[in-house]
Structure 1
Amino acid sequence: MIAWPSVTLDNLAIQNEAAKAHRQGCISPETLEAIRTAHPVKLYLPNPITRVGLFILTTIVVCFTTGFLLLLAISGESASLRAMLIIAALLCIGALEFAISQKGSYRSGINEALLWSAVGLLCTGIFFESHHVTENTIAIIVFGLTVLGTLRYADMASSAVAWLSFLFIIFQQAMRIPHGVQALPFLLMALSLAAYLVTTRLEKRPALRHYADCLTLLRILSLITLYMAGNYYVVRETTNSMFMLELQPGQGIPGGWIFWILTVIIPPLYIFLGIRKKDAVLLRTGIILIAMIVFTVRYYHSVMPLETAMVVGGLVLTGGAWALIRYLHTPKNGFTYAASDEPGMADRLKVESLIIAQTFTPGARSTDTNPTNFGGGSGGGGGASGDF
């Protein structure tokens, strides 16, 4: 269902792995070129600066085109405006499919601009002057559109919005059932944990290799939402603002001690599991969420002035980073200070064998500049002549 041919995406992954091997000095430039020739990639892959420029330019073109279509129906009824918005969205999808099929555009900035313009215009057209549409309905439609965008274009932003809209749908449904508010944090934590386990398993499936970036992002988001759903600050302030509890400073919420325990325990647990499993996603997410622990504790229990706390925290982090760099300068137990070079999807495709096959291709020309050529001698009578 993905828009690009699987063979082309596989070749791109192989070329990336071969380029990585070349940077590490494992293969020669000739071998790298041979691999690129054997696995061609017909995709338009601009650099990041060009991507940003193309994204802005495409967005401007979409805005002008949509504005022109709306001018054609400005004097009509709301149905005409709604129709023009939907037509503009369909034009964006058509332009996106054309750019992919004919020009090989891949994560070029054009794709993202056209995709999100189409989603925005389609949602605007559907909900234009619809005064009785509920937030739950909007979330369901956004969820459906972003799921389709993820499946078709492997767009990471679409997968993130799909996950957040799904949680919002669950949130809205839980608000309608008895005792749903009390169970909501634990329900969101359970769903986030289930999403993390499922995406971790799916990420290892070769059939879903082209969605690896989306699945990795969903793993990160599920870990973050799992923690946020049990964070004391998030639970207390959300409950206080939504239900007008008017809690006074120092006044807690029922069962607050449970959320305090979850607030303090979950990030170190992420770090522990990340170290044990050598999982960079768990490890880095846990390290980032440590800052949320500090923020939550300080928000309710100020131990020292902010300036002093920042200075002390900076000194501790700097000293800890320096000590860790010195300790891991020599690799220990699978950890090192050297730049990470994790295996990618192409390792599952046995890139090593492909590289070896390209290196020892039958009939390859020798690069020796001084070959020894035998033959061409002459002889006569009882001995050889002076010509060899």
Structure 2
Amino acid sequence: MKLYNESWVKNRDIVQQANQWHRQSLLTDEQLDRIRQAYPINFWRPNPFVEIGLFLFTMVAMVGGYALLALLLGELFDTVFGLFNLLMAIGTGTLAYVMINRRQYYHNGVDNALIIGTAALAVAAVTSLLPSSPPFWTICAIALPVLLALVWYAGDTLVMFVALVMFYGLIFDGLLEFSWGRPALPFVLIVVSEVAFQAAKRAERRPYYADAFNLTEWVALIVLVASGNYFVVREINGLLLPSAPGQPVFADAPEIGLAALFWVLTLAIPVAYLWQGLARKNRMLLILGGVGLIAAVATVQEYTEWVPLNVALTLGGLILIGMAVGVIRFLQQPRNGFTDVPDEESPNEFFTNVETIGAMQAATGTQHGPNDKLRYGGGDFGGGGSEGKY
């Protein structure tokens, strides 16, 4: 049993796709009405500005209520800290369940805040059982199962983000407990991030967890490219080294071992992202590959200073603007599956979600032959954008 109605979440995606096709005159008004009747959505969702306001208001209300109850308990608060947080977590979780089921909330700000508050209180209650000042990796190890359970129950993206922070915090701080952990840290993070990315790609793509899986892919790819960047590795390694008496905390980081390998990875990983992004038509890889390549150039500039900083910034900006204008003009007409046309106006052959199409056909009672304008199947979508064949 999940917190939200999974059928409505799936219906939302079907109706959104139907609305898009209707705007392109691929569906008639009558067909769109049939789809909406066959796949109802009873969630209540405001516009984004109201959603943000409701989220902030609910968070302030929860923090204020927590602080007020803590003040009322006085000195007793420290004694019953764990029990207090557990009861508060049960209370906020119950409130979220009741409001979602009675008022049909779905990611409208109020429920997001209540879920985040429930997660924070539950983690605080569990970690209060630890001895005073526990290592950070211990907190992460205890908090991670609680957060993942909430992700399974609610499919909340913000909770998934915190769970990812705990996951990487567990690996980062845990490795530092070993003598070999610091030099092995970047390689472990690269391997773990690749495994996490592949696991998210291969996981069941139910609409209920789509946003959480997508966030996992983004975070894993960002950590992977950062873990191979020479600047990131060298500077973090310098911060982790014990400082000599009288030495500034932010002194210049010393040279790292296997420096040549990290210089290669600084350039190779972004290039691999771009190559795979072009091959798979994957927007996520293209974006991160471009950003990683810019970071690689900035890393070279940081340690070689081949031109003054102001000149480098000016030249870099001009080159990027020129490239952007050139690519936009070049892709005004679709070329090899790439186009600058917005998603709302994408060519018809991009619509290759077979499951959605089958649902629409069942709802509208239509079947499309080989000579129709809209042709179904033959493609694959994934990640942060389309990929595969068209």
- TM-score, normalised to structure 2's length? 0.84
| Aligned with residue 227 of structure 1, among 225, 228, 237 | 225
| 1:1-388 → structure 2 map (5 Å cutoff) | 1-76=1-76, 78-127=78-127, 131-202=132-203, 205-206=204-205, 208-244=206-242, 249=252, 251-340=254-343, 348=353, 350-360=355-365
Residue by residue over 1:10-56, the C-alpha shift from the partner in whole angstroms, topping out at 9 and shown as x without a partner, is 21111111111112221123322221112111111111011011101
Name which one, 1 or 2, has greater alpha-carbon Rg: 1
Q: Which residue identity is paired with 2:232?
A: V
After superposition, the Cα gap between the structure-2 partners of 1:115 and 1:358, relative to the gap in structure 1 and judged at 3 Å, is: closer
Contact 1:18 1:35 in 2 (8 A): yes
After superposition, the Cα gap between the structure-2 partners of 1:42 and 1:101, relative to the gap in structure 1 and judged at 3 Å, is: same
**Partner residue of 1:372?**
none
Residues in 1 aligned to 2:335 and 2:280: alpha-carbon distance in whole angstroms: 15
Contact 2:4 2:100 in 1 (8 A): yes
After superposition, the Cα gap between the structure-2 partners of 1:130 and 1:12, relative to the gap in structure 1 and judged at 3 Å, is: same
**Partner residue of 2:385?**
none
Q: CA deviation at 1:75?
A: 4.0
Contact 1:54 1:108 in 2 (8 A): yes
Residues in 2 aligned to 1:154 and 1:231: alpha-carbon distance in whole angstroms: 32
Question: Which deviates more from structure 2 when the two are superposed, residues 350-359 or residues 261-270?
Answer: 350-359
Contact 1:55 1:112 in 2 (8 A): yes
Contact 2:123 2:146 in 1 (8 A): no
After superposition, the Cα gap between the structure-2 partners of 1:141 and 1:251, relative to the gap in structure 1 and judged at 3 Å, is: closer
Q: Which residue identity is paired with 1:213?
A: D
Q: CA deviation at 1:315?
A: 1.3
Aligned partner of residue 45 in structure 1, secondary structure: coil
Residues in 1 aligned to 2:53 and 2:174: alpha-carbon distance in whole angstroms: 41
Residue by residue over 1:276-295, the C-alpha shift from the partner in whole angstroms, topping out at 9 and shown as x without a partner, is 11111211111122232132
Residues in 1 aligned to 2:134 and 2:100: alpha-carbon distance in whole angstroms: 35
Q: Which residue identity is paired with 1:76?
A: L
After superposition, the Cα gap between the structure-2 partners of 1:335 and 1:349, relative to the gap in structure 1 and judged at 3 Å, is: closer
Residues in 2 aligned to 1:132 and 1:248: alpha-carbon distance in whole angstroms: 28
Q: CA deviation at 1:94?
A: 0.8
After superposition, the Cα gap between the structure-2 partners of 1:58 and 1:248, relative to the gap in structure 1 and judged at 3 Å, is: closer
Residues in 2 aligned to 1:163 and 1:70: alpha-carbon distance in whole angstroms: 30
Q: CA deviation at 1:81?
A: 4.1
Aligned partner of residue 46 in structure 1, secondary structure: coil
Q: Which residue identity is paired with 1:351?
A: T
Residue by residue over 1:335-369, the C-alpha shift from the partner in whole angstroms, topping out at 9 and shown as x without a partner, is 111113689xx9656333443444448xxxxxxxx
After superposition, the Cα gap between the structure-2 partners of 1:84 and 1:297, relative to the gap in structure 1 and judged at 3 Å, is: same
After superposition, the Cα gap between the structure-2 partners of 1:108 and 1:167, relative to the gap in structure 1 and judged at 3 Å, is: same
Aligned partner of residue 80 in structure 2, secondary structure: helix
Residue by residue over 1:110-142, the C-alpha shift from the partner in whole angstroms, topping out at 9 and shown as x without a partner, is 122111122223334455695242212211122
Contact 1:73 1:80 in 2 (8 A): no
Contact 1:70 1:81 in 2 (8 A): no
Question: Which deviates more from structure 2 when the two are superposed, residues 28-37 or residues 249-258?
Answer: 249-258
Residue by residue over 1:208-265, the C-alpha shift from the partner in whole angstroms, topping out at 9 and shown as x without a partner, is 3421111111111111111111111111111111113679758521211111111111
Q: CA deviation at 1:86?
A: 2.6
Query: Mind listing any 5+ residue stretches in structure 2 that lack a counterpart?
Result: 245-249, 367-390
Residues in 2 aligned to 1:281 and 1:250: alpha-carbon distance in whole angstroms: 32
Residue by residue over 1:80-133, the C-alpha shift from the partner in whole angstroms, topping out at 9 and shown as x without a partner, is 344333322221111111122221111111122111122223334455695242
Residues in 1 aligned to 2:179 and 2:76: alpha-carbon distance in whole angstroms: 46
Residues in 1 aligned to 2:180 and 2:76: alpha-carbon distance in whole angstroms: 48
Residues in 1 aligned to 2:62 and 2:80: alpha-carbon distance in whole angstroms: 19
Q: Which residue identity is paired with 1:54?
A: L
Residues in 1 aligned to 2:289 and 2:87: alpha-carbon distance in whole angstroms: 45
Residues in 1 aligned to 2:258 and 2:237: alpha-carbon distance in whole angstroms: 13
Q: Which residue identity is paired with 2:272?
A: L
Contact 1:100 1:106 in 2 (8 A): yes
- TM-score, normalised to structure 1's length? 0.84
Q: CA deviation at 1:184?
A: 1.7
After superposition, the Cα gap between the structure-2 partners of 1:349 and 1:110, relative to the gap in structure 1 and judged at 3 Å, is: farther
Residue by residue over 1:130-189, the C-alpha shift from the partner in whole angstroms, topping out at 9 and shown as x without a partner, is 524221221112212221221111111222222221122122332233422222211111
* RMSD (CA atoms): 2.5
Residues in 2 aligned to 1:19 and 1:163: alpha-carbon distance in whole angstroms: 34
Contact 1:69 1:88 in 2 (8 A): no
Q: CA deviation at 1:333?
A: 0.6
